[in-house]
Amino acid sequence: MSDRKFFVGGNWKMNGSITQYKSLITDLKNAKLDPKTQVVIAPPALYLLPAKDLLQDNDKIELSAQDGYHKPSGAFTGEISLVQLKDAGIPWVILGHSERRTIFHETDEDVATKTKAALEQGVNVILCVGETLEQREKNESIKVVISQVEAAAKNINDWSKVVIAYEPVWAIGTGKVATAEQAEEVHKAIRDWLAKSVSAEVAKTERIIYGGSVNGKNAKELASQPDIDGFLVGGASLKPEFVDIVNARL
Ligand code: 13P
């Protein structure tokens, strides 16, 4: 097993309420979490600052925004800038999630621009990539994923501040998890690309996590793969089984 720190992110998406975020965070604070796992949760932006208050006495759980806009300020109604995330002390941001790419039409170029702005602010990035079912059926998974990584990579100068999340679109919210072999194949291809196009050191240290219908039952097998360094969890991050996913390597 590699010595890359296992990373588990909980992407709450547009879910939750004031009551729910309080109870989810309180339960997580009280849970027995593997101290070797880095845990990052991404509540809706509305709850980030109150969540930060709730986590004040906790150094195990970090916070992430679900998106961030590259312009520092101005007339961009509805957006939150990376400068503002930094100002609010939010250390992570998810960028390029497939829901942003498909529903909100974000392009590789948009994701690259946001990645640059995040790194300029010192905000760590969870960079999401993944192919659609149609692309998988045409045998294009690796080609698509590598081109998404490549587009953002041109704006990445410090890979220690980036985690790559491979999230096949067909596995997100569908209950249809990639098999450990399917996920490992793509993770390895990303790592090989990093070795070839960035450096051997980055390829060795970069965390590549998997997302798409991860749950308390399938996490262990996925986590045993040599190139799977953690998870980005949607639905199950709102349930008690999130703790089992954090503890998948125990
Ligand atoms: P699910 O775990 O609900 O499939 O969502 C995965 C995801 O999109 C995490 O970002």
Q: Which residue puts its alpha carbon closest to atom 2 of ligand 1?
A: 234
Contacts of 126 (CB under 8 A, 6+ apart): 9, 40, 42, 64, 92, 93, 94, 95, 163, 165, 209, 232
Mean pLDDT of 9-38: 97
**Structure confidence by residue, pLDDT tens digits, 175-219:** 999 999 999 999 999 999 999 999 999 999 999 999 999 999 999
| Contact call for residues 60 and 25 (beta carbons, < 8 A) | no
Which atom from ligand 1 is nearest to the alpha carbon of 215? 2
Query: 75: CA distance to ligand 1 center in Å?
Result: 31
**Structure confidence by residue, pLDDT tens digits, 116-166:** 999 999 999 999 999 999 999 999 999 999 999 999 999 999 999 999 999
Mean pLDDT of 3-24: 97
Structure confidence at residue 2 (pLDDT): 85
Distance CA 245, CA 6 (A): 11
Report whether pLDDT(114) > 90: yes
Query: 231: CA distance to ligand 1 center in Å?
Result: 9
| Range list of β-strands (E), the chain | 6-11, 37-42, 61-65, 92-95, 124-129, 162-166, 208-211, 230-233
Domains in the chain, start-ordered, CATH in brackets?
Answer: 6-246 (3.20.20.70)
